[in-house]
């Protein structure tokens, strides 16, 4: 084993050939973006089709997609600005369309943190992304949400005969397909790109 360098001010205790200076502020020298005009300047304007594809209701395409989707991500934020992204998964079609502007997602037993649900109590604005395994495109649904503990449609949400204790009801405001670029570039659905192992969590982490 290589000997460590003496710890001196401004240096880290690492192997001699890997010694690096300690940076007090990792954001020193950054140039922030502070306006929408800057974003447009840097990225260019969106194509008209990208704007026109956004709708507020759930049509036949969206209903078919949801009927096949076994997994989604739900983004929420509390009134104080704290954020959360929650994964939800069940057999395909677990998210039910109640009508053209209403979607319901059942809650299942988990770690009981309920971070996203707590956020919804103070801020009902939510964003969701629904995935189809093996497909690059995703379906994005944004809207206003509320938690319910019982409803006539709970029987439709039952899993193995057991209805959920709660469900998230979303009134849709923005509904649109998202292009496949991110999933294609990441190789997410290509087994040959998957790591053989995952990092081992620290002992303090307990799986729910």
Model-level pTM? 0.85
pLDDT in tens, 33-88: 999 999 999 999 999 999 999 999 999 999 999 999 999 999 999 999 999 999 99
Superfamily of domain 56-186: Electron Transport, Fmn-binding Protein; Chain A (2.30.110.10)
Residues 6+ apart with CB under 8 A from 188: none
pLDDT band at 201; cut points 50, 70, 90: confident
Q: pLDDT at position 20, please?
A: 55
Instruction: Spell 51-86 as b/e; 16+ CB within 10 A means b.
Output: eeeeeeebeeebeebbeebbbbbbbbbbeeeeebeb
Could you report the per-residue pLDDT of 170-182, keeping only the tens digit for each? 999 999 999 999 9
Residue 207 pLDDT > 70, yes or no? no
Is 15's pLDDT higher than 70? no
């Amino acid at each position: 084993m290589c000997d460590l360098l003496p710890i001196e001010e401004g240096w880290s205790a690492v192997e001699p050939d890997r010694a690096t200076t300690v940076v007090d502020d990792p954001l020193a020298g950054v140039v922030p973006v502070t306006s929408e005009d800057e974003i447009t300047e840097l990225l260019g304007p969106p194509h008209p089709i990208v704007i026109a594809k956004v709708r507020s209701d759930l049509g036949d395409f969206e209903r078919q997609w949801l009927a096949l989707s076994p997994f989604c991500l739900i983004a929420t934020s509390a009134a104080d600005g704290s954020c959360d992204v929650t994964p939800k998964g069940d057999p395909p079609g677990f998210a039910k369309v109640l009508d053209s502007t209403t979607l319901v997602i059942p809650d299942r037993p988990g770690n009981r943190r309920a971070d996203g649900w707590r956020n919804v109590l103070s801020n009902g604005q939510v964003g969701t992304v629904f995935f189809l395994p093996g497909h690059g495109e995703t379906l994005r649904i944004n809207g206003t949400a509320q938690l319910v503990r019982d409803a006539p449609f709970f029987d439709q949400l039952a899993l193995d005969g057991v209805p959920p204790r709660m469900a998230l009801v979303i009134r849709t405001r923005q509904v649109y397909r998202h292009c496949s670029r991110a999933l294609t570039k990441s190789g997410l659905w290509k087994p040959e790109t998957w790591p053989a192992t995952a990092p081992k969590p620290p002992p303090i982490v307990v799986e729910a």
